[in-house]
Amino acid sequence: MSEHKTVIRGGRVLSMDAAIGDLESADILIEGGRILEIAESIDVHDCEEIEAYGMIVTPGFVDTHRHVWQTQLRTVATDWSLFNYFSRMRSIYSSFYTAEDAYLGNYAGALEALSAGITTIIDHSHIMNSPEHADEAVRGLEEAGIRGIFCYGLFPNPTQHPFAMGIEPGWRFDDARRLAKDRFNGEGLLKLGLAPTEVEATPYDTTFDEIRFGREIGAARISCHVALGTYDTGRRVVEHIHEAGLMNEDLLFVHGSTLTDDELGHIADGGAAISATPETELQHGMGQPVATRALEKSVKTSLGIDIVSNFSGDMFAQMRIMLQSQRGFENEKLTAPPREIRFKARDVLELATTGGAAAAGMESSIGSLAPGKQADIVITRTDSINMTPAIDPVGALVLNANVNDIDTVLVAGRPVKRYGELVGVDWPRLAERLRASSEKIVAGYESVDPAEIEAMAAALMLSH
Ligand SMILES: [Zn+2]
């Protein structure tokens, strides 16, 4: 019995593979979820055909940092600082999430990512209010059909108000062990990762123990928020991890705008990675995104979307903000008008594809289009009013495209979006459930006096 075959016809291919390069018009043959061949014309019949004439064909995007659970709180963080985010989202809104809410946020959020061409996601999931929350958050990602790493959050969200700092039982460790054993058996699209308690706010030894715990349960990635720009208290967590002999390629450092050059060197030497999240970093006072500095130090560097409670979950916006904020940042320092621009659109497209794959430890299977790789593929139309004419396909994607231009998205060869619509999703019904969940959580938030929490957060975050 032969495996299911699909051929994508006549696309303008940006393979992001050095040997294959860009192809003006090419066919891609897929079999058993993998790319079998990429050529100008492939003589194959009796298989599913996807027409991509005039469309741009790229690898799926990789989002290396998102808190997917926040999907039904879209726009609450519109004008927030990081201080507001910590005291409101992390300390109040989160406490009103039921396991069902965690499922809905993760299911709808992963679908939003897929619709936007993000085929792999690293979910930093600090909504572990109970073991049921963990199961339901994983189920949401699974049912959406996205590839990725579910990073189990150890952060103890308050689950009652008035807020009390109690001694946190260690149930999350046992629960993460349970998930590793029962739900992540090495098959399927999802791997287990770990999101330690906030490493910038816990004793070094706690962080070290949590990193060792992640390794014990086989975490694919250990995701840590570090070096948060104006909020950086100078604890140099990355330096300490290095000195403790714990730097390794499973570490994924998020934000990191105020990492020192030495720390970036340690990250590079250890094979660890960076996820820059340009939009939140710029808004929340976390500093100029570290991506280009990290690239100069040969760090595996990627982009993350971070909080969809703030803005849309698509990679086009993050690529654009990364590119133009960095250009602005560098131009500010010039003393003479530039003849050329240093940071190119293709550089950010690499961050969102090959860079993300490397940061996720999946560079051998995703991130570029080449024979043998997984068929995670995005096909973007160029016939909309905002895309015509797409003279430079890279510029078209990075600076002009929006999610509605994406015609087709494949994950392991399976269409999850086709003709501009998510496949097999009853959106009106899902939207209704999301709104109901959202209204309940917002009402919970509004019932709490935030004064005590803000005082605690101010002492933690604003006193240095
Ligand atoms: Zn984050």
**For the chain, how are helix, strand and coil distributed in percent, rounded to 5?**
40, 20, 40
Residue 459: strand, helix, or coil: helix
pLDDT grade, residue 376 (50/70/90)? very high
Q: pLDDT tens across 407-454, in order?
A: 999 999 999 999 999 999 999 999 999 999 999 999 999 999 988 889
Tokens of 280: 């939140």
End-to-end alpha-carbon separation of the chain, Å? 66
Distance 29 CA to ligand 1 centre (A): 37
Task: State the helix-helix crossing angle for 99-115 and 427-446, rounded to 10 degrees.
Answer: 130
**b/e map 385-401, b = 16+ CB within 10 Å:** eebeebeebbebbbebb
Residue 290, beta-bridge partner list: none
CATH number of 61-359: 3.20.20.140
Distance 305 CA to ligand 1 centre (A): 9
Share of the chain above pLDDT 70, in %: 98
pLDDT grade, residue 168 (50/70/90)? low
pLDDT over threshold 90, residue 460: no
Distance 87 CA to ligand 1 centre (A): 14
pLDDT of residue 157: 84
Distance 65 CA to ligand 1 centre (A): 6
Mean pLDDT, to the nearest integer, of 291-311? 98
Distance 369 CA to ligand 1 centre (A): 29
Contacts of 201 (CB under 8 A, 6+ apart): 460
Residue found under tokens 């003006």: 24
Q: pLDDT tens across 108-125, in order?
A: 999 999 999 999 999 999
Distance 354 CA to ligand 1 centre (A): 21
Residue found under tokens 């004793």: 203
Q: pLDDT tens across 14-73, in order?
A: 999 999 999 999 999 999 999 999 999 999 999 999 999 999 999 999 999 999 999 999
At the topology level, CATH places domain 5-59+367-422 in: Urease, subunit C; domain 1 (2.30.40)
Distance 89 CA to ligand 1 centre (A): 12
Residue 181, beta-bridge partner list: none
pLDDT over threshold 80, residue 167: no
Share of the chain above pLDDT 90, in %: 92
Distance 176 CA to ligand 1 centre (A): 19
pLDDT over threshold 90, residue 404: yes
Segments of 83-158 assigned E as strands: 118-125, 147-153
pLDDT of residue 161: 75
> E strand or H helix at 176, and its extent?
helix 171-182
Distance 464 CA to ligand 1 centre (A): 21
Distance 267 CA to ligand 1 centre (A): 19
pLDDT grade, residue 170 (50/70/90)? confident
Residue 29, beta-bridge partner list: 7, 37
Distance 81 CA to ligand 1 centre (A): 13
Q: How many CB atoms lie within 10 A of CB 355?
A: 30
| Nearest CA-CA partner of 124 in 150, 143, 157, 98 | 150
Distance 289 CA to ligand 1 centre (A): 14
pLDDT over threshold 70, residue 166: no
Distance 280 CA to ligand 1 centre (A): 9
pLDDT over threshold 50, residue 1: no
Q: What torsion do the CA atoms of 193, 321, 338, 329 make, to the nearest 10 degrees?
A: -70
Distance 397 CA to ligand 1 centre (A): 25
Mean pLDDT, to the nearest integer, of 180-195? 94
pLDDT grade, residue 163 (50/70/90)? low
Distance 124 CA to ligand 1 centre (A): 7
pLDDT over threshold 60, residue 234: yes
Distance 57 CA to ligand 1 centre (A): 30
Mean pLDDT of the chain: 96
Distance 67 CA to ligand 1 centre (A): 6
Distance 277 CA to ligand 1 centre (A): 8
Where, residue-wise, is CATH 3.20.20.140 in the chain? 61-359
Where, residue-wise, is CATH 2.30.40.10 in the chain? 5-59+367-422
Distance 226 CA to ligand 1 centre (A): 10
Distance 348 CA to ligand 1 centre (A): 20
